[in-house]
């Protein structure tokens, strides 16, 4: 199995084989918690304009969640916050998800044979699924901060999945703790509390909290449908 780690939108566009798009803070952590809270359908789009247009088309029982430059855009129903996913009434609804990095990474992975969305919360499940498939090529794409700057959390997740696929049993507990004073420190800045609460940090770094993967399929309309696939315990 040939495993490559890439970054940003460029990495997504270059990805080949089974491709894992990684966004720990916070896109795919948010998506996992949304599915856990009963969302019926999850659709990724690249821009707010696409999100609004798709909501008008789908109409009933559809909400828009996400962020641009971390904050919830005007007109969105929810932000890109796992904490919000825990408390929102999501059961049976369709959620359109739009973020600066993660969802754009999905949309741009057009050269992949299969696309999987991942964070630390479902990293082991992703590795288990790929191990069962045993593909020749795997590309792990760390989306980074605003899809422009490398981030410790996304690269940590990529290395962790790579090591699991290589048969190792990595202990990343120390690195997870270090995130609190590193890139995770922004969750504890008072002026960020309204859109990026401290609870988001702990929810996003709850390693292997979920035993399911999120598979993405890019449609002819240019958005991506995400579905949940539970792994056997």
Query: Looking at the domain assignment, is residue 181 inside a domain?
Result: yes
In 3D space, the residue among 186, 33, 179, 61 whose CA is nearest the CA of residue 117 turns out to be 33
Q: How confident is the model at residue 180 (pLDDT cuts 50, 70, 90)?
A: very high
Query: What are the tens digits of pLDDT across the range 200-215?
Result: 999 999 999 999 999 9
Per-residue confidence (pLDDT) for residue 60, from 0 to 100: 79
Distances (CA, A) of 88 to 85, 193, 197: 5, 18, 15
Mean pLDDT taken over the chain: 97
Residue 88 structural domain: 2-228
Gap between the Cα atoms of 174 and 201, Å rounded: 15
Angular region, 147: left φ>0, alpha ψ -120 to 50, beta rest:
left
Q: Can you give 119-177 as a three-state secondary structure string?
A: CHHHHHHHHHHHHHHCCCEEEEEECCECCCECCHHHHHHHHHHHHHHCCCCCCCHHHHH
Mean pLDDT of all residues in 166-186: 97
% residues pLDDT > 70 (the chain): 100
Count the domains in the chain: 1
Is the pLDDT assigned to residue 233 strictly greater than 70?
Answer: no
Gap between the Cα atoms of 59 and 209, Å rounded: 32
115 touches 63 (CB < 8 A): no
CATH number where 75 lies: 3.90.1560.10
Query: What are the tens digits of pLDDT across the range 90-116?
Result: 999 999 999 999 999 999 999 999 999
Per-residue confidence (pLDDT) for residue 51, from 0 to 100: 98
Q: Rounded to 5 degrees, what are φ and ψ at 209?
A: -65, -30
Q: HSE on the CB side for 90, CA within 13 Å?
A: 27
Mean pLDDT of all residues in 56-85: 95
Query: Looking at the domain assignment, is residue 177 inside a domain?
Result: yes
Per-residue confidence (pLDDT) for residue 225, from 0 to 100: 98
Q: Rounded to 5 degrees, what are φ and ψ at 60?
A: -60, 145
Is the pLDDT assigned to residue 232 strictly greater than 90?
Answer: no
Query: Looking at the domain assignment, is residue 233 inside a domain?
Result: no
100 touches 147 (CB < 8 A): yes
Helix or strand holding residue 51 (H, E): helix 48-58
């Amino acid at each position: 199995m040939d495993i490559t780690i890439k970054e940003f939108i460029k990495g997504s566009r270059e990805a080949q084989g089974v491709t894992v798009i990684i966004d720990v803070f916070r896109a795919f952590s948010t998506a996992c918690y949304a599915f856990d809270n009963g969302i019926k359908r999850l659709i990724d789009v690249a821009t707010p304009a696409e999100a609004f247009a798709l909501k008008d088309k789908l109409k009933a029982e559809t909400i828009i969640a996400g962020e641009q430059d971390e904050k919830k855009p005007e007109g969105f129903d929810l932000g890109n916050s796992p904490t919000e996913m825990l408390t929102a009434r999501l059961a049976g609804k369709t959620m359109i998800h739009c973020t600066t990095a993660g969802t754009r990474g999905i949309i741009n992975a057009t050269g992949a044979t299969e696309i999987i969305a991942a964070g630390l919360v479902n990293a082991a499940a992703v590795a288990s699924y790929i191990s069962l498939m045993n593909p020749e090529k795997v590309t792990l794409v760390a989306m980074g901060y605003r899809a422009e700057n490398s981030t410790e959390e996304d690269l940590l997740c990529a290395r962790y999945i790579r090591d699991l696929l290589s048969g190792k049993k990595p202990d990343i507990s120390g690195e997870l703790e270090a995130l609190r004073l590193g890139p995770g420190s922004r969750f504890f800045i008072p002026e960020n509390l309204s859109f990026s609460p401290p609870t988001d940090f702990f929810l996003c770094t709850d390693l292997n909290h979920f035993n399911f993967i999120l598979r993405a399929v890019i449609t002819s309309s240019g958005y991506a449908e995400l579905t949940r696939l539970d792994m056997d315990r």
